[in-house]
Chains A and B, each alone.
Chain A
Amino acid sequence: MKVIPDVRKLGKRKLIWAGIALVAAVFLGTLPFFYDVHSGQWGYVLFMVFIYATVSQAWNLIGGYTGQISLGQNAFFGLGAFTMALLWVYDVTKTGYWFDPVLIILGGVTPVILAILVGLPLLSRLRGDYFSFGTLGVGMILSVLFLNGGGFTGGGEGKLLIKYVPDDLVINLRTHYWAAFGVAVLTTLIVYFMTTSRLGLALKAIREDEVSAASHGVNVLKYKIIAFAVSAALTGVAGAIYTYYLLHPMPMNVFSQNWLFLPIMMTVLGGTGTIIGPWIGAFVLYLIAYYADTLPGFEGWYPVVLGVIIILVMLFLPSGIAGLGEKIPHRLTRGFVGRRSK
């Protein structure tokens, strides 16, 4: 795996994006030092943006780079959330920390198990839409299971984790801000290195033409599972971080369709198959969602707007915002290339 990309080969556009990313990362990372993240509204907004960016980037790996549209991300998010919550409540790890990185990491483990269990049958036989719907079904099943988990999972109420926080602890959003930021950056780095390695080449080959990839000796199933599992793990971790903030995971919340559709729409808007895409999408869409509700007379309309945006993007700008200015406009599409060679 190449660690440091050859700067000369990268091209001007990519360098510009990389520069912007670096500046933004430094800015966001140091923000809490000169802005009161805890009481200022931007603290919360950015926290949510980071969470969404993580889930979007995770989806980007399986959906954008590998071309397998997973519709079950909310399952992994909720699973991560509840894993962390239940491990905490039943004090399984006994580490004694309140904000426990072990729990967060474990929050990413159960989704991986689920991803492999579910991924093996779904990805080995199914292509395209049917895989998507298989994952959708999984999300729904999980939702139901947790709703009916009785005392163990807290049923519809979920678990009130606030009871388990040490009494004398003052919770500052800063901790969560940094945790979310860290996870988002880590996710981005993981996805970046995965996709710029040989693994990434295989994934893109699978996205372009599975049959051709298989006939060239690519173990299609293995790579799909890897992408799916990593995507699940990262989504689960995001769920755990989110729960640490919310302290009240409810099935209706952590398994909600918002964690399914919004990350997909964000990635699509920002640009599937690009590293910066999920970030752009997360910022733009979340800000629209957050502020649109405050505009007089406009509240409740933003989901409609989001749907329209997605359709427009798919029709006219399939490579998203990150694809603006690229030579080949249709990066998402393969299909009858000969037709377009006018």
Chain B
Amino acid sequence: MANLLLEVNELSVSYGDVRALTDVSIAVDDGAIVALVGSNGAGKSTLLKAIAGLLHPSSGQMFFMGESIDGLSTKHRVDRGIVLVPEGRRLFQTLTVRENLKLGAYLPRARASYDESLERVFALFPVLKERANGKAGLLSGGEQQMLAIGRAVMAHPKLVMVDEASLGLSPLLSAAIFELIVALNQQGTTVLLVEQNIHMALKICSTAYVMKTGSVVLSGTGQELLASEDVRKAYIGERGGRR
């Protein structure tokens, strides 16, 4: 039986008076790809931000590798191995590709394996090696997404959370990025992804959670959900095409 890497229990998050998440529970096994799907405003990004430490929950607990991470700052969570690739990439546009990657490996633990991580990133994303000294802002959309993921990899993470990797990318490019995410996962990195492109997300994941207006409404394996009538009708459409 696989080990539980991340456990989120009954998490609630509010923006002032507005409830964004209500009693959300998810479990991420070590080595798995877990997907969070659902329409806009479902709270998926909020959940990732809460796990990353950018938002403080009003109630609930989170455990990583068996230990509580409640109240820990983002810095400590990164140190433990939880890294977020944020929505919209949020690259440092005026810095070079190399500098972006370097910043990913800022913390001592990550710095120790800097060379190794860099090799790994360049192996996964060869184009980044070519453009290593160019400004991040000049990269194409797909390249930027690769850099964003690469930056996270530099932190020597155990869990990489990816928020909307396919945002703004063509179907072809999205598929390529997803392949790379799968490759990353096969190297041993656990992935938690938030994705609008439900079809692709469900195809590559082992477990998935469907969220709606701040709560988890469905969960199951990727295959189960792909086959499910409810999911098809609500999110995928009758013909199985991408929404």
The chain A residues found within 8 Å of chain B, CB to CB, are 337-342
- CB-CB under 8 A from A339, the residues of chain B are 55-56
In the assembled complex, the CB of B157 is this many whole angstroms from the nearest CB of chain A, namely 23
B14 within 8 A of A: yes
Q: How far is the CA of A342 from the CA of B58 in the complex (A)?
A: 5
Chain B 11-33 interface mask (CB, 8 Å, partner A; 1/0): 00111100010000000000000
- CB-CB under 8 A from B13, the residues of chain A are 338, 341
Contact A337–B56 (Cβ < 8 Å): no
In the assembled complex, the CB of B74 is this many whole angstroms from the nearest CB of chain A, namely 11
Nearest 9 A/B pairs, CB to CB: A337-B16, A338-B55, A341-B14, A341-B58, A338-B15, A337-B15, A339-B56, A342-B56, A341-B56
Q: How far is the CA of A311 from the CA of B15 in the complex (A)?
A: 28
Q: How far is the CA of A100 from the CA of B13 in the complex (A)?
A: 61
Closest to A334 in B: B16
Q: How far is the CA of A338 from the CA of B16 in the complex (A)?
A: 6
In the assembled complex, the CB of A152 is this many whole angstroms from the nearest CB of chain B, namely 51
Q: How far is the CA of A6 from the CA of B58 in the complex (A)?
A: 35
- CB-CB under 8 A from A340, the residues of chain B are 56
In the assembled complex, the CB of A211 is this many whole angstroms from the nearest CB of chain B, namely 16
Closest to B46 in A: A338
In the assembled complex, the CB of A176 is this many whole angstroms from the nearest CB of chain B, namely 47
- CB-CB under 8 A from A338, the residues of chain B are 13-16, 20, 55-56
Q: How far is the CA of A342 from the CA of B13 in the complex (A)?
A: 9
- CB-CB under 8 A from A341, the residues of chain B are 13-16, 56-58
- CB-CB under 8 A from A337, the residues of chain B are 15-16
Q: How far is the CA of A341 from the CA of B13 in the complex (A)?
A: 8
Closest to A338 in B: B55
In the assembled complex, the CB of B68 is this many whole angstroms from the nearest CB of chain A, namely 16
Given contacts A338-B16, A341-B57, 6 further A-B contacts (CB under 8 A): A337-B15, A338-B13, A338-B14, A338-B15, A339-B56, A341-B56
In the assembled complex, the CB of A18 is this many whole angstroms from the nearest CB of chain B, namely 26
Q: How far is the CA of A338 from the CA of B58 in the complex (A)?
A: 9
The chain B residues found within 8 Å of chain A, CB to CB, are 13-16, 20, 55-58
Q: How far is the CA of A342 from the CA of B14 in the complex (A)?
A: 9
Q: How far is the CA of A339 from the CA of B14 in the complex (A)?
A: 9
Q: List 21 A-B contacts (CB under 8 A).
A: A337-B15, A337-B16, A338-B13, A338-B14, A338-B15, A338-B16, A338-B20, A338-B55, A338-B56, A339-B55, A339-B56, A340-B56, A341-B13, A341-B14, A341-B15, A341-B16, A341-B56, A341-B57, A341-B58, A342-B56, A342-B58
Q: How far is the CA of A338 from the CA of B55 in the complex (A)?
A: 6
In the assembled complex, the CB of B71 is this many whole angstroms from the nearest CB of chain A, namely 9
- CB-CB under 8 A from B16, the residues of chain A are 337-338, 341
Q: How far is the CA of A338 from the CA of B15 in the complex (A)?
A: 4
In the assembled complex, the CB of A342 is this many whole angstroms from the nearest CB of chain B, namely 6
In the assembled complex, the CB of A331 is this many whole angstroms from the nearest CB of chain B, namely 13
Q: How far is the CA of A340 from the CA of B13 in the complex (A)?
A: 10
Q: How far is the CA of A188 from the CA of B171 in the complex (A)?
A: 60
Q: How far is the CA of A337 from the CA of B14 in the complex (A)?
A: 8
- CB-CB under 8 A from B15, the residues of chain A are 337-338, 341
Q: How far is the CA of A341 from the CA of B12 in the complex (A)?
A: 10
- CB-CB under 8 A from B14, the residues of chain A are 338, 341
Q: How far is the CA of A337 from the CA of B58 in the complex (A)?
A: 12
- CB-CB under 8 A from B55, the residues of chain A are 338-339
Q: How far is the CA of A190 from the CA of B131 in the complex (A)?
A: 61
Q: How far is the CA of A340 from the CA of B55 in the complex (A)?
A: 8
- CB-CB under 8 A from A342, the residues of chain B are 56, 58
- CB-CB under 8 A from B20, the residues of chain A are 338
- CB-CB under 8 A from B56, the residues of chain A are 338-342
Q: How far is the CA of A19 from the CA of B45 in the complex (A)?
A: 48
Q: How far is the CA of A337 from the CA of B16 in the complex (A)?
A: 6
Closest to B14 in A: A341
In the assembled complex, the CB of B20 is this many whole angstroms from the nearest CB of chain A, namely 8
Closest to A328 in B: B16
In the assembled complex, the CB of B59 is this many whole angstroms from the nearest CB of chain A, namely 10
In the assembled complex, the CB of A304 is this many whole angstroms from the nearest CB of chain B, namely 36
Q: How far is the CA of A337 from the CA of B19 in the complex (A)?
A: 12
Q: How far is the CA of A210 from the CA of B56 in the complex (A)?
A: 25
In the assembled complex, the CB of A208 is this many whole angstroms from the nearest CB of chain B, namely 11
In the assembled complex, the CB of A204 is this many whole angstroms from the nearest CB of chain B, namely 15
In the assembled complex, the CB of A41 is this many whole angstroms from the nearest CB of chain B, namely 48
In the assembled complex, the CB of A205 is this many whole angstroms from the nearest CB of chain B, namely 15
Closest to B18 in A: A337
Q: How far is the CA of A323 from the CA of B183 in the complex (A)?
A: 56
Q: How far is the CA of A341 from the CA of B14 in the complex (A)?
A: 6
Q: How far is the CA of A52 from the CA of B20 in the complex (A)?
A: 45
Q: How far is the CA of A341 from the CA of B16 in the complex (A)?
A: 7
